[in-house]
Chains A and B, each alone.
Chain A
Amino acid sequence: GDSKRFTSDTSSNSGVEQAIGCYDTPVQELIVIDDLLSALVGIEGRYISIKRFHGKEESVTFQVDPSMDLALQELAKRIFPLCECFLLIDQFVESSSQFKNGLVNHAFAAALRALLLDYRAMVAQLEHQFRLGRLSLQGLWFYCQPMMGSMRALAAVIQQASAKHFVGSGVLNLLQSQAKAMAGDNSVRSLLEKMTECASNAYLSILERWVYEGIIDDPYGEFFIAENRSLKKESLSQDSTAKYWSQRYSLKETIPGFLANIAATILTTGKYLNVMRECGHNVQVPISERSKLTIFGSNHHYLECIKAAHEFASKELVTLIMDKYDLIGRLRSIKHYLLLDQGDFLVHFMDISRDELNKKVHEISVEKLQSLLDLALRTTAAAADPRHEDLTCCVDRASLLTTLGMHKDPDSNSSIEDPVSITGLETFSLSYKVQWPLSIVISKKALSKYQLIFRFLFHCKHVERQLCGAWQIHQGIRSMNSNGTAIRRSSLLCRSMLKFISSLLHYLTFEVLEPNWHVMHDRLQSTKSVDEVIQHHDFFLDKCLRGCLLLLPDVLKKMEKLKSVCLQYAAATQWLISSSIDINSQSHSQKTMIRDATV
């Protein structure tokens, strides 16, 4: 009977119905339940319609025919929020399944879809109850209760996510913070945590590839590590301001909360693996069943996995750099040449290159110096060092002081004018070819610090040699009676100058360079990661620079002055001695003449 009456009531098929008010309340209730079951899956019924607002935020409200029984109206309206939530979530699922929205959104949408499927099944069950005549409006409200809270919470999350167009870690962070905010409501909290887990699975698979293989497999740019492909590894050994190591891979702004504390570790882990791959060693962190990353479950297991991977990667890389590429040997070889601990080579080189180095800077032929350097390397003990071929020479244009000024403050463009008469002795320095991956540690910047020390030492050595020459000349005329002459005074001066310069050299080499080198050497033996190696090496260099007074321009200026006085003196000695010998021999011959005459 009911169905017949229903059919006759329908005035048209286009959905324009008679006002619901003309039915009895029990009939009205049946119609409203049927409409509500439609509305629960987002479909307009006969007397319930959807109104969409196209404002700043798209919003949807359900409306009910005003002629309905007021009590029924109120009952129906209570359920509307659930319908609105459904519509919102359904829309979100549709839109975020699109490819461009990223893996996290896909996974999140998939989890939501599974939830909505449960919801639809529930609606179908309710419909079954309704068809059996066992569902009242009150009953419907009761059955909807469990869904209400979770759907609302999800809708709130989704509203935020879609308003701000979150992708990747943004979504994960939002879900987590919401889960924490809903800590009081156990069911909602666990639902949101489950959502987070589902959504993070896709993210964690990206993370796994990075942490275990050093590869960024991130088709939609969601991962929190960015790769800057424009920075080339070759720049490390060419450009002193190269940022390869620090900026080739960098952290983005949005990092998922659960990884925030360990993000730096993750970054370095992948970076180390990547370095090894660039060297042609395909190293992968051994993966066991346990190392599959999951956020939830056994408390913070993933953190341990990441730490284990980090330890493995840094150990592998350090062994690679230390053993295969022999970093310490390399550093020792640099020390031989640039920190002057290979004496015979240096003396020989200074002997043969004296004329060339005495020229003005722009007149020096670097090729000639290079061939002299090769000669010196091949004929001295340095030939035994297999790496001596990596040594090249270069001649700077500016004096040490100017270079230091620029080194300290690279922006100021040589405010101090160089004296024109600057010679090769002051600007000559050695350079060392360093290949990847050692250029991570011995970068151009580190090498330039070595060069600064070298230039200072080299010049001191030069001054010392000149003074030694002067001393030798003095020794040659010791037998002569020089009491009261300038020679006696000059001899004293020579000794005090020599004392000064050799004390200085002794201080520089034995009290600054050697101890610091040993400290670094010991530390390098026990390092666990390349970053530590870099840190120790840089620390060593800075300490040496400071110890060599190179960071104190005032003292250094005085030092330069002293050295130039020494040089002037050494040059003058030659003249002094030869002229005094002349005088001496003249007076001597006069004496003999007188003696002859008397005889």
Chain B
Amino acid sequence: EESEVTEEVLVRDVLYACQGIDGKYVKFNSEIDGYAVVDYVKVPRGTRTMVRMLSELGWLFKKVKSFVSESMDRFPGEHVGTVGQAFCAALQDELSDYYKLLAVLEAQGMNPIPLVSESATSSCYLSLRRLSVWFAEPMVKMRLMAVLVDKCKVLRGGAMAGAIHLHAQHGDPLVHEFMMSLLRCVCSPLFEMVRSWVLEGELEDTFGEFFVVGQPVKVDLLWREGYKLHHGMLPSFISPSLAQRILRTGKSINFLRVCCDDHGWAGAASEAAAASGTTTRRGGLGYGETDALEHLVAEAAKRIDKHLLDVLYTRYKFKEHCLAIKRYLLLGQGDFVQYLMDIVGPKLSEPANNISSFELAGFLEAAIRASNAQYDDRDMLDRLKVKMMPHGSGDRGWDVFSLEYEARAPLDTVFTESVLSKYLRVFNFLWKLKRVEHALIGIWKTMKPNCITSNSFAKLQASVKLQLLSALRRCQVLWNEMNHFVTNFQYYIMFEVLEVSWCNFSKEMEAAKDLDDLLAAHEKYLNFIVGKSLLGEQSQTIRKSLFVLFELILRFRSHADRLYEGIYELQIRTKEPGRERNKTQESSSWINEGRKAITQRAGEFLQSMSQDMDSIAKEYTTSLDAFLSLLPLQQSVDLKFLFFRLDFTEFYSRLHSKGKES
């Protein structure tokens, strides 16, 4: 051989270099960033290249080793976390295998390399070429580890596991095996977290590595905001939908524990674990068993969610509460509403600051007692309260009165403040509609044609009589028109909005598999009502024109009241002269002035009345026209059927087209 150093020495040096140690001749050269034979020794070109190639392993080893020791130094720390720890442990395991190999090689390296001239001493020796055979497999693994170390330097927790998982997508069986065993170690803390979260609802995550994060919130926000998915920590081998299910399952447990004060979930959890085959103890899951994980999560989710819904439905009577809200806040209980309207009506006409809420609460109680509502569950009735909204100076009782329903934990997760305020808006709207209807019915009682009114006008002068009859007729026609509108509108609200949405909601409630479904169903229900009742953002203009119509109808009511009062007075006056002239001679001015004056007064009164009536009728027609013309323009809500009902005989569309033509 022509080199200054023997191959044995070089082999030994290479073995040193492979452990990151500078040997006698093979040293780390920072210029080429690797180990090489020092320049001053004479070795053949081939040997030099060979050494350089073999000692690449040392360079890789140094990288991996330094990562491991750096991470180990920081244990236990925020930057490393349990996943990082597991990663280091797995790397350390690999490295000790590597050390074992080197030890064996070192022993072989002690044997002298036979030379051409000498006879063989031992066949068990190491040359550089033999070393290259030995190193083939460790080289692949070490390279892989170096790559992983590079990628994972800044990552932790689920993100780290995800990054390693991406590198496991390799077709080489050796690499695949290696990555699998590595990942099994790395992911074990994560799977442990999933297990304890899904089965016990515990966040065992000291270093913030789990893809579920919790934050302290008030009890009523626990479901919506208490726990979130941390997408950065979600490893890619767990699909988003699975992650969502995992999140929900643990959340359900926590919800049951904190909000519902329930302990039955533990039974459900152990049942789930038994059903899925893994026991509730630690270490039951591992990487690569995605099916098992999915199975476990599915079982746990199914049982826990079912348990949660059972608790909500049976113990906290969710359905009953929804129904109660529908009956009281959405005016489903007719007799109660009617009675309440009857007794509370007069009071509400007073200015708002004259009304005490205690008095109204008394009325409410009376209405409950007097109607079928009294047979309802006391717990629900207790939750029904009168609410006075803040009022300004000119407000009347009508403007500030409303009912509210108190939602207690855990139902406040469904009936949050914003949900209740939506209910309040719907209630106010329905109450207003009811009031208008009530007013129309009230006036009907006085307007009802009966023999008293028809008989008494016989004595009147023909012209006044004609005037009176025409005023009455006008009034009736207008009433009918208004009644048609209100009845149909109310029909629409009650049957096409409230009942339909309730029916859908009940169906969805039956089909709901978890609390999220239930929340979504309820939200849909409420939004449907709000949208269809024209309370949405987009239907502001049509709402305004609807309220104008309501105002007009109320005005009509007071007007008609006055008209009929006048008529009754007239009636009394015209009757009286016969029987009671003597007694009331001085009491009224009308009588004194005699019959003629009465007739004259009546004529004037009727004239002014019919003028007012004319103006109301005209205004009503224009605003109804405006309302009807707005109906087909609603894009957000489908109101074509309402339009179709209101205009069933095509009276309005004909009127409209006639108006256009003329």
Contacts and interface: CB of A to CB of B under 8 A. Distances in A.
Q: Answer whether A and B are interacting partners.
A: yes
Interface of A: 1-3, 6-10, 12-15, 30, 34-35, 37-38, 41, 43-46, 97, 99, 102-110, 113, 116-117, 120-121, 123-124, 127-128, 130-133, 199, 201-202, 219-220, 365, 367-368, 371
Given A6-B2, A106-B175, A365-B644, A44 B113 contact: no
Contacts of A131: 113-116, 120, 127
Given A7-B1, A30-B116, A124 B129 contact: yes
A7 B4 CA distance: 7
Given A103-B171, A106-B175, A365-B644, A44 B2 contact: no
Nearest to B4: A7
In this complex, the member of A37, A38, A45, A103 whose beta carbon has the largest number of chain B beta carbons within 10 angstroms is: A38
A41 B116 contact: no
A451 B175 CA distance: 60
B581 interface: no
A223 to B, nearest CB: 13
B43 interface: yes
Interface in B1-31: 1-4
Contacts of A368: 644
Given A107-B173, A132-B120, A133-B117, A43 B46 contact: yes
18 contacts: A3-B2, A7-B1, A8-B2, A13-B41, A15-B45, A30-B116, A41-B132, A102-B171, A105-B171, A110-B173, A113-B136, A113-B172, A116-B136, A117-B133, A123-B129, A127-B130, A131-B120, A132-B116
Given A41-B132, A99-B170, A117-B133, A13 B43 contact: yes
Given A46-B46, A117-B136, A371-B641, A109 B172 contact: yes
Given A103-B169, A131-B113, 12 more contacts: A3-B2, A6-B2, A7-B2, A10-B42, A13-B39, A41-B129, A44-B49, A99-B169, A102-B171, A106-B171, A106-B172, A131-B120
A43 B171 CA distance: 29
Contact of A127 (B53, B115, B117, B129): B129
Interface in B138-193: 140, 167, 169-175
A46 B170 contact: no
B292 to A, nearest CB: 14
Q: 7 tightest A-B contacts by CB?
A: A106-B171, A103-B171, A15-B45, A6-B2, A202-B171, A13-B42, A110-B172
Nearest to B123: A128
Contacts of B1: 3, 6-7
Interface string B110-138: 00011111001001000101101100110
A7 B133 contact: no
Nearest to A15: B45
Range, interface on chain B: 35 or more
B640 interface: yes
Nearest to B132: A120
Contact of A3 (B115, B169, B173): B115
B44 interface: yes
The binding surface of chain A is classed by DSSP as helix
Contacts of A123: 129
Given A201-B173, A365-B644, A35 B132 contact: no
Contacts of B132: 41, 120, 124
Contacts of A110: 171-175
Contacts of B641: 367, 371
Contacts of B169: 99, 103, 219-220
Interface in B44-97: 44-46, 48-50, 53
Contact of A113 (B53, B117, B140): B140
Contacts of B123: 128
Contacts of B640: 367
A107 B171 contact: yes
Given A99-B169, A107-B173, A131-B115, A7 B3 contact: yes
B133 A124 contact: yes
A309 B431 CA distance: 64
A104 B41 CA distance: 45
B627 to A, nearest CB: 18
A515 B131 CA distance: 83
A158 B43 CA distance: 34
Given A7-B4, A104-B171, A15 B50 contact: no
B45 A44 contact: yes
Interface in B564-603: none
B116 A133 contact: yes
Contact of B42 (A12, A43, A44, A102): A12
A216 to B, nearest CB: 14
B95 to A, nearest CB: 22
